[in-house]
Amino acid sequence: MGQIYNSKKLMDDIARLQSSHDLIELLSGIQQSMAIYESGIQEVLTKLEILQRDARFSKHNPIESIKSRVKSPMSILEKMHRKGFPISLESIKTNLNDIAGIRVICPFIEDIYTVADMLTRQDDLKVLEKKDYIQNPKPNGYRSYHMILKMPVRFLGNTSETAALPCLEVQIRTIAMDFWASLEHQIHYKASHEVPDCVVGELRECADIISQTDQRMQRLSKQIRCMEDKKD
């Protein structure tokens, strides 16, 4: 069966915090941390934009589009609860790597690895973790390439000092994988009710069809590029 999100239990946890005045302190702590995550996003976006600009001189741009977001305080609390972590500012900082998130959408599967390699080669970014859900899809069919990065963030007026290193999650996927993940997210991922097995099964089937199509598109693109190279 699909995942059930126990919102009542979360509300109970939050209510317990509220009664001890911790909630207001926690929310304002989360809010104060947001600037550092915004800066981290900005630094990685700049690197990705440079890659896009460089690609103008080659025949192929590996990036179709880029989205970014900082997780909302409610979504942070929901994930802490879902993962069973204690709800405190320290615990959020230690346990959540995806408060800042960037999603890079690529035309073809190979482009995903080009973007991942480019990020890995940056001296000022530390790659803490790579999860290849393309080679190893999740049981529900989810495919994407995830990287957890740690990076220095410098603030104006304090350039000599490097602030605390925030983590940032980069999700890299094709247009087709993104199409599936966005719709599956709506249908299933954070559903407050149980999703029947037949729906879970069909979503998995759709993911497999999409993956086969991605591979065909990759082959077609290679075929055309090969023909073009022979012409030059």
The footprint of ligand 0O2 (CB under 6 A) covers 75, 79, 98, 131, 138, 140, 142, 146, 181, 184-185, 189
For ligand 0O2, the closer CB: 66 or 163: 66
Q: What torsion, rounded to 10 degrees, do the Cα atoms 131, 136, 137, 140 define?
A: -110
**φ and ψ at 84, to 5 degrees?**
75, 20
Query: Which residue is catalytic, options 169, 202, 205, 228?
Result: 169
E-assigned strands of 16-175? 65-70, 100-106, 126-132, 145-150, 167-174
Q: Is 169 a catalytic residue?
A: yes
Q: What's the closest the beta carbon of residue 129 comes to ligand 0O2, in angstroms?
A: 8
Q: What's the closest the beta carbon of residue 188 comes to ligand 0O2, in angstroms?
A: 7
For ligand 0O2, the closer CB: 75 or 218: 75
**Gyration radius (Cα) of the chain, Å:** 20
For ligand 0O2, the closer CB: 81 or 146: 146
- Check: CB of residue 112 under 8 Å from CB of residue 146: no
Q: Indicate which residues carry an active-site annotation.
A: 169
